Amino acid sequence: MAQFKELVFSGVQPTGNLHLGNYLGAIKRFVAMQENYGCIYCVVDMHAITMPQNPTDLIRQIREVTAAFLAAGINPERHIVFNQSQVPQHAELAWVFNCVARLGWLNRMTQFKDKAGKDRENASVGLYAYPNLMAADILVYRATHVPVGEDQKQHLELTRDIAQKFNNDWAESIAAQGFGDAFFPLTEPMIQGPATRVMSLRDGSKKMSKSDPSDYSRINLTDDADTIAQKVRKAKTDPEPLPSEVDGLKARPEAENLVAIYAALMDTTPEEVLRQHGGAQFSGFKAALVDVAVTKLSPVADEMRRLMADPGHIDAVLADGSARARALASVTMDAVKDIVGFVRSR
């Protein structure tokens, strides 16, 4: 297999109301990755319209995700921060991948089944073909690594299948164009740490979600210090003290969730948290978690509010990042057109 320069692609949908789960499961990890990799951070607004969106809200939400990237510490000068719709090569490559991917592959995608529900005949083609666009997002930069949560692993496997089939189907042309035995890399998942799946503060069996009717189920990234403290104190727990070993968290989803959140915020492990707090009552542990959450999240919330008050600055960051992304994506797309046999101007 050909050698590819290490590059990380990361994407977040602009669906509004960013919360602690988005931060710990994605954005905080993106910040850490930028120290060791070249990174492309994308607000995937084309994915957002696979479900109905209010245009005014969508504009605000694109800026909000960008503000969260910047407020959390992503450097848009060292790396690329942009929104997907400003780089048309994503859609161009997605069409090629529509012609590479097989119906049987897409029929196995569980996320489509979950989102479409029982009325699948009324679901959009975009929602069905979403994984092909996700593959294009990654491979238009020939990215070698992608951080993925549990709900995206299947899509990354599809990305690898598409890359492999493209490399096989056009092997002769790829070699003739000087790209060796493979044009696209088989993208690898990034290793994830604790709290990749943050659960509801009201029900430890459910994922933290912006759609939960109770605002006390989540910590929003724009919550102020008092609100964060109140939500942590009201988080559901059980009457038993914290165990001293991780095995003691089994069958205690709310306790496990709070320990995982504490560990992720402190860049440590649940084992270390329990070494410090094992045997403590939840009243004491929650007080410690309040201190950690406020210390870590309040500066992000303050900076997000400051940035959102200056949309012109956010738009300038996206315009600069999009121009740089287009420069990379156009090289890939030109090569793809040559490989598959399209005539293009030079």
Examine the domain organization and report whether 251 and 156 are in the same domain: no
Contact predicate 317/66, CB 8 Å: yes
User: What tokens were used for 314?
Assistant: 């956010």
For residue 177, being part of any structural domain is answered with: yes
**Active-site option among 115, 165, 236, 337:** 115
| Dist. CA 120–CA 104, nearest whole Å | 16
Q: Average pLDDT, whole number, for the chain? A: 92
Same domain? 288 vs 314: no
Tell me which H or E stretch contains 11.
strand 8-12
Q: Is 22 annotated to bind ligand?
A: yes
256 in the same domain as 236: yes
Could you tell me if 195 and 269 are in contact, meaning their C-beta atoms sit under 8 angstroms apart? Answer: no
Residue 38 assigned to a binding site: no
Burial class (CB in 10 A: 0-12, 13-18, 19+), 116: middle
| 208 in a known ligand binding site | yes
pLDDT over 70 at 195, yes or no: no
119 labeled binding residue = no
Look at residue 228 and tell me if it is in a domain: yes
The reply, when asked if residue 5 is annotated as ligand binding, is: no
Across 86-111, average pLDDT: 94
pLDDT of amino acid 16: 77
Please tell me whether residues 138 and 14 are part of one structural domain.
Answer: yes
Catalytic annotation on 165?
no
Is 118 annotated to bind a ligand? Reply is no
Domain count, the chain: 2
The 10s digit of each residue's pLDDT in 235-283 is: 999 999 999 999 999 999 999 999 999 999 998 999 999 999 999 999 9
Average pLDDT over residues 203-231: 93
Burial class (CB in 10 A: 0-12, 13-18, 19+), 108: middle
pLDDT at 51: 87
Q: Which residue of the set 165, 207, 236, 337 is catalytic? A: 207
Establish whether 149 is an annotated binding residue: yes
Single pTM value for the model:
0.89
Concerning whether 210 is annotated as a catalytic residue, the answer is: yes
Position 1 pLDDT exceeds 60: no
Q: Is 234 a catalytic residue?
A: no
Q: pLDDT band at residue 15, thresholds of 50, 70 and 90?
A: confident
Place 194 in a pLDDT band, splitting at 50, 70 and 90. low
* Residue 109 DSSP class: -
Is residue 163 domain-shared with residue 254, that is, in the same domain?
A: no
Q: Tell me which residue range forms the domain holding 265.
A: 215-307
206 found inside a domain: no
Question: Do 116 and 221 fall within a single domain?
Answer: no
> Residue 2: what pLDDT?
62
Q: Is the pLDDT of residue 191 over 70?
A: no
Q: Would you say residue 328 has pLDDT above 60?
A: yes
- Lowest-confidence pick of 107-121, 214-228, 279-293: 107-121
